[in-house]
Amino acid sequence: MSFPATVYLVGAGPGDPDLLTIKALRLIQAADVVVYDRLVSKEIMALVPDAASLISVGKAPKHHTVPQERINEILTEQALAGRMVVRLKGGDPLIFGRGSEEAIYLRAQGIPIEYVPGITAAQGASATTGIPLTHRGVADSVRYVTGHRAKDKPLDLDWASLADADSTLVVYMGAANIAEISHNLMLFGLSPDTLVMAISSATTPNETRLVTDLGQIEQQIKQADMSAPMLFIIGRVVSLRPEQAVSLATQYQPAEAAHA
Residues marked active site are found at: 37, 59, 173
Q: Which residues contact 105 (CB under 8 A, 6 or more apart)?
A: 72, 75, 76
- Please report how many Cα atoms fall inside a 13 Å half-sphere around the Cα of residue 90, on the Cβ side: 27
CA gap 31, 153 in Å, rounded = 36
Torsion angle (degrees, nearest 10) of CA 29, 32, 37, 42: 40
CA gap 158, 161 in Å, rounded = 5
What Cα–Cα distance (Å) separates residue 161 from each residue in 37, 158, 185, 237?
A: 32, 5, 9, 18
Amino acid sitting at position 97: G
Query: Considering only CA atoms, which of 131, 135, 112 is closest in space to residue 123?
Result: 131
Q: What backbone torsions phi and psi does residue 56 show, to the nearest 5 degrees?
A: -85, 130
Q: What backbone torsions phi and psi does residue 7 show, to the nearest 5 degrees?
A: -100, 125
Q: What share of the chain is helix, strand, coil (3-state, %, to 5)?
A: 35, 25, 40
Residue 155 near residue 180, CB atoms below 8 Å: yes
